[in-house]
Amino acid sequence: MHASTQPSAARGIEDNGALRIRIREIAVGWLLFEVFIALAIAVGIVWWTIPKGVAKEAPPDDGPGDEPR
């Protein structure tokens, strides 16, 4: 009976190793997804806060003593 359970135990250990690799891949994928979402939010905030139009320049001020003649 001991000899028949040994291959099964070895297969269980191999499956456990494969599961660990899949869990790591999922964790890394999830981490990359969160990083890209955070980057997109940061870019969106910067884009939202940048002025959209060029302000029209005011006419030059001639100063208090200079009046047009």
Residue 4: pLDDT over 90: no
DSSP string for residues in 17-60: HHHHHHHHHHHHHHHHHHHHHHHHHHHHHHHHHS--SPPPPPPP
**Mean of the per-residue pLDDT values for the chain?**
78
Across 50-67, average pLDDT: 71
- Is the pTM above the cut of 0.75? no
Structure-token pair, residue 49:
């806060």
Structure-token pair, residue 20:
């660990």
DSSP-assigned letter for residue 42: H
Give the rounded percent of residues in the chain with a pLDDT score beyond 70. 58
What is the rounded CA–CA span in Å between residue 13 and residue 22? Answer: 14
What is the rounded CA–CA span in Å between residue 19 and residue 59? Answer: 71
